[in-house]
Structure 1
C-alpha cells in the first residue's frame, strides 16, 4: 500500500486536521506495516497556477522556456505522488466556509487534461481511478454537510472528477462550540474507518 499524506493547515502544531491525518495514517500503517508513506505539507507553499502554467502544461507557448520546464516539473511531481498512491489522506481545515488556498492550489496543480481527467463524447472521465481518499475535516463552527459547508461537497466532487470516488471523512467540525464533543465524533469516525 502506498499512502499519500497531505496536510494543508496553516496553524502548525495547533492544527486539529494535522492530528487527525497523523492518526489516520497511523491506523493504516498498523494494518499495513509495509505501507510506504509520502508526506507533503502543502502549507509550506504550492505555487498558484497562472498564465505561464497554462502555457506550459497545455503546450501553447511554442518554444518551451526554462520557466515552463520548471512549472511542468512541479505539477508533474504532484501528479506522480497521486498516481503512485493507493490511499490519499488529506487534511482539510475549513477557512471562511471553504478549503484553504494551499489545498486549492494543489488541486489546481493536478487538474491536468489528459493526465488526471479527459473529456469524451460521453462527458468528462477521471483518470486517477482505483484510489481511496480519507479527508480529515476540521472546522471551528462549520458543521460538515451543512449549508455553511462549501468544502466537503467540493472535495468529493473534484476527487470524483479525477476518478477518485471512494471518499470518506473524519470530521471535527464544531470545535469552537464543544471541542471535546467534536474531537470525540472525529475519533468515532476514525474508529469506523476500514484500515
Structure 2
C-alpha cells in the first residue's frame, strides 16, 4: 500500500483555477461515500479550502491507481476543466511532511494563519465519519493535528498577522495611516470579506 497526496494550492495555481476546484461539504460527503467505486483507493481525506484542494489517500499501488485517484479528485470537484500541470503529488514521507506543514500553517498563504488547523480537523472528521479512513490515515491525521496544535502553542508563529484579511488591513494602514473615519469599499460576500470587515 502507498500513501499519496494529489492537490493544488496557492503556490501552484492562481485563484481563478483554485475556485474551479472548491468542493462543498455535500460534494465531499458524496465523494467519500463512493470511495469504493474507485479501484485501489483504500482510504481518503479531502481537504478543500480557499487556498487549496487536496486528497490524501492510501492506495494499493500509486502507479496502478494514479488514474483512479485523479478521477476521485475530479469527480469530487465536479469535473472542472484542468491541465495535468495544475497538480502536485507526493507519496510516502513527502506526503507526511506536506500534511504536517499544512497542519502547522507553514504551507499557508499567510504563515501561521489559524484557520487551516481547524480545516484539517474538519476534513479528517468528515472522512472518518463517512468510513473513508482506517489505521493509516487515522494515525497520520491525529498526529498532524496534535503537531499543529503544539506548533501554535509552543512557538510565536501566530503572533503576527495570521490571516489574509488581517494582512490586508495592516497593509492598508501602512500605506494610508489610521483607517479610523475613512470610507472603504469591500467587494465580496464570502468568509474572507466578512473577516476583513
- Global fold match (TM > 0.5): no
Q: Which has the larger radius of gyration?
A: 2
TM-score (norm 1): 0.24
